[in-house]
Structure 1
Amino acid sequence: MEGLVIRHRTVEVNGISMHVAEAGPEVDAKGAVLFLHGFPELWYSWRHQMDHLGARGYRCIAPDLRGYGGTTAPPDVASYTAFHMVGDLVALLDTLGLAKVFLVGHDWGALIAWYLCLFRPERVTALANTSVAFMRNIMIRNGPDFVNPIEYFNRAYGPNYYKCRFQEPGVAEKQFAPAHAKRLMRQMLCHCFSHGVFCDEEMDDHNYPTSPLPPWLTEADMDYFVTSFEKTGFTGAINYYRNFDKNCELAAPWADAKVQVPTKYIVGGGDITYNFEGIQEYIHGGGFKEDVPLLDEVVVIPGAGHFIQQERAQEVSNHIYDFIIKF
């Protein structure tokens, strides 16, 4: 991270105040790259990629998304739909004077990136998405036999699955209290979401409170995340999950739409999202390419987990750069 210079500012977009981190040239850049983080993360998750691409002449922009970090967290659960998120991003691009950007997403940021490419493809030059593939049957109500995502997850993984447990306001907040941020962040960043599992039972106890960090995460990195979530709590982040079903209803007019943006998809072989039932058959069997006709490449990094842009920072940075340099 030596040599990384981050500029910070707060902008007013779509009725909220959004904290934005930037790196690389402010003008005369090769292009702008918009990074979208996931759960439970911040702009900081993209520090390595911002350093890498900023040094190569790209203007790098990484906001704290609605409900996270230095960005407004509306109290109403209904304020966290995909339409709100896409609206935030379009307003951000307008405020920054950017007609189009290269787009990079991870986890929930990847889902939002897919929605942005569906709703406003004219704002995206190319997409390098990580972790979460485009999943029409999870993202869009698309027929009479459609099953709402939370019902699907409940059937597939049971009511204790974290996406299901997050649904009732107030319940998850007891477990995800700001006072528990240090333990929770250590568990989630180091031990959960990888190798096909989420640590449902382990999130309720005090496992791993002082376990060694993996080599890709320093104590200073962990402190950055923990300090932020101690201040904000996790409610804003959890509210994304409470809009899974609503997003599908809102996106129903796009039931037959395809993602018409040049795309590269990068995932860790041990990522929970790469081990959902049927997902590998979809990704490699032609369904993914059918839904994303301009899919350029699928990259599976063996042994990598969920937080791939941090865990395999150099590899992911290289993959993103090698893709966007084509445009």
Structure 2
Amino acid sequence: MTNPYADAPLHPGIRARRIEGVNGLSMHILEAGHEAPDRPLALLLHGFPELSYSWRKVLPALAQAGFHAVAPDQRGYGGTTGWDGRYEGDLSASRMLNLATDALTLVRRLGRERAELLVGHDFGSPVAAWAALTRPDVFERVALMSAPFAGPPPLPPGPAEPPVPDIDAALAALPRPRRHYQHHYATPGAEHEMLHAPQGLHAFLRAYYHVKSADWPQNDPQPLKAWEASELARMPTYYVMDRGRGMAETAAEHMPDAAQIAANRWLTEAEMAVYAAAFARTGFQGALNWYRCSLSPEQSREHRLFAGRRIEVPATFIAGAKDWGVYQKPGADIRAMDDRAFARLAGVHLIEGAGHWVQQEQPEATVARLLAFAAGAGLSPS
């Protein structure tokens, strides 16, 4: 596979190419501002169910500001190959520290010693956070988007492992039985029910993007009191699902009508088709394996090596004002974005007119925030 986005709507200043030997991957990237080799590097990491293509409106704007902006298809996604997409496969490659190693290796394979600006959205946010925490010598500034970071897990308070609350069982016991979407994504059937959605893959993704955006009027994010079933059940069903229903069925209830789709300028049907074609080709399991690792006690124990460590480089947080994701983890939401996890946090910014897909819904405001953060942290490439 050369360029899976050859027919995709893209700014003429964006080019696609493949970088070999990236931590065992053949990594497909989109980039802009590549003409001048001495520009500062901005590395942009996407989330789920996204692609490097999710940065299509940000790449040329950063290039115009003087950056060499690079967005890879991460492990399990898009045109990148060399990953294990089986449910029964080895999950170790999808653990967070290995995903951060992917980012580190890509910087080096690009011929760079450092990335002056690292940006991560959704599941790309914790990858960026862990990359910045573990390698501040390489990742000099970090912007996290839509998924807050509360720092590494603490060491157990005593000689024994504390019991982990079974939130899945607690949600199942509610009068209206529920299931957290991450637990659903960890099940063997999650890929099939989305990939083979009765409404079709394109329509499933359209509804999923719609319901998590500012276009869905019911999105009214509110802080939750605690990581308890009754509180989590306050979230929309795309986060805390009705038990026994898949995500495709859940999203189908919120499918925008033909007029709403035609009026959408931040995600046109031609752009939506890029996502549908990509996931039809790769499936979802390589991406869903990230969720399985996020629920794994082994990953949490691995992260405890860094207990008490903070992100020391300049950092900021950006999200849409209509994004429930900023509150989805009580105790580790935007209220925990403070000096316990960050040495130099330059603000938490919620962008009006955007939901979860902030860099696609409001790209100009997102770029303005990124450039203001970079300038405030001593980086003005132009």
For the pair 1:315 / 2:365, whether they are aligned, the reply is yes
Count of residues in Structure 1 that have an aligned counterpart in Structure 2: 321
CA 1:232–1:293: 2 relative to 1, 3 Å: same
- Point out the structure with the larger helix share: 1
**2:189 equivalent in structure 1:** 171
**1:32 equivalent in structure 2:** 41
Q: 2:122 is aligned with what amino acid?
A: D
Q: State, as a whole percentage, how many aligned pairs show the same letter.
A: 29
Q: 1:174 is aligned with what amino acid?
A: H
Q: 1:192 is aligned with what amino acid?
A: K
For the pair 1:57 / 2:66, whether they are aligned, the reply is yes
What displacement does 1:19 show? 0.9
Conserved 8 A contact 1:111-1:134: yes
Matches within 5 A, 1:184-195: 184-192=204-212, 195=219
For the pair 1:142 / 2:155, whether they are aligned, the reply is yes
Conserved 8 A contact 1:134-1:288: no
Matches within 5 A, 1:123-272: 123-136=138-151, 140=153, 142-144=155-157, 151-152=166-167, 155=170, 160-168=179-187, 170-177=188-195, 180-192=200-212, 195=219, 196=221, 197-199=236-238, 200-201=241-242, 203-204=248-249, 206-207=252-253, 208=255, 211=258, 212-213=260-261, 214-244=264-294, 245=296, 246-272=298-324
CA 1:269–1:152: 2 relative to 1, 3 Å: farther
Instruction: Please give the root-mean-square deviation of Cα atoms over the aligned residues, in Å.
Output: 2.6
For the pair 1:107 / 2:116, whether they are aligned, the reply is no
What displacement does 1:122 show? 1.1
CA 1:55–1:151: 2 relative to 1, 3 Å: farther
Find the aligned partners of 1:161 and 1:128 in 2 and give their Cα distance: 27
Normalised to the residue count of structure 2, the TM-score between the two structures is 0.76
For the pair 1:299 / 2:299, whether they are aligned, the reply is no
Find the aligned partners of 2:98 and 2:106 in 1 and give their Cα distance: 12
Conserved 8 A contact 1:42-1:65: yes
Structure 2 unaligned blocks of 5 or more = 1-9, 222-235
Aligned to 2:308, what secondary structure does the other structure show?
coil
What displacement does 1:218 show? 0.9
Structure 1 unaligned blocks of 5 or more = none
Aligned to 2:26, what secondary structure does the other structure show?
strand
Normalised to the residue count of structure 1, the TM-score between the two structures is 0.88
What displacement does 1:127 show? 0.7
Find the aligned partners of 1:190 and 1:128 in 2 and give their Cα distance: 24
For the pair 1:98 / 2:112, whether they are aligned, the reply is yes
Aligned to 1:83, what secondary structure does the other structure show?
helix
Find the aligned partners of 2:196 and 2:75 in 1 and give their Cα distance: 18
**Higher Cα Rg, which structure:** 2
Aligned to 1:229, what secondary structure does the other structure show?
helix
Aligned to 1:134, what secondary structure does the other structure show?
coil
Candidates 118, 122, 127, aligned match of 2:137:
122
Q: 2:202 is aligned with what amino acid?
A: K
Find the aligned partners of 1:303 and 1:240 in 2 and give their Cα distance: 29
**2:334 equivalent in structure 1:** 283
What displacement does 1:5 show? 2.7
